[in-house]
Amino acid sequence: MESAWGGKERCACIVLGDTTQITVRALTRADEPQWRRLWSEYLRFYESAVDEEVYLTTFSRLLSGDEPQHALIAEVGDRPVGLVHYLYHRHNWRIEDVCYLQDLYAEPEARGLGVGRALIEAVYAAADANNTPSVYWMTQEFNTTARTLYDRIGKLTPFIKYQRG
């Protein structure tokens, strides 16, 4: 089955402790309502919103297989509780592409279960399979919960982000 995880459908299952099993899998067309719910919650967390056209276009791009954009869903049981969007792009300082982990979200009830870590590790695995060793992401300074995880599995860089005013 073709998927948004860069080709054939793949699945990674992580068992934490005696009770929590997190399944990370590629986004599929059937996930649209749950994907939209999770991404809307993510956008609300950052006090942001997008137009309907952006939802439709983004979902289409994530599933197309022709775009460098990909999405994974994390489930606990049969319930989607998290998502990650990532994309590959060229970098002038490297021969190989780099991977930008653009959006990462775990429902508040699922935080602390390892959902964020499972999603990041799945992106690492996808990037490795794509011969893309460099994975990077950004977060808001106030996002201390996520930064606690990021400090354990990533390296804080000295760069500061600017954008067109």
Let me know if residue 40 belongs to a domain. yes
The pTM of the full predicted model, rounded to 2 decimals, is 0.88
Mean per-residue pLDDT pooled into runs of 10, the chain (165 residues): 44 58 97 98 96 98 94 96 98 96 97 96 97 95 94 94 89
CATH of the domain at 134: 3.40.630.30
Task: Assess if residue 160 is contained within a domain.
Answer: no
Residue 28 is assigned to a structural domain of this protein: yes
DSSP letters for 45-101: HTT----HHHHHHHHHHHHHSSSSEEEEEEEETTEEEEEEEEEEE--TT-SS-EEEE
Domain count, the chain: 1
Residue reference for tokens 């994907």: 35
For residue 162, is it within any domain? no
Owning domain of residue 147: 2-153
pLDDT in tens, 18-32: 567 999 999 999 999
In a domain, 161, yes or no: no
CA gap 153, 135 in Å, rounded: 11
In a domain, residue 159? The reply is no
pLDDT digits (tens, 9 = 90+) for 137-162: 999 999 999 999 999 999 999 998 89
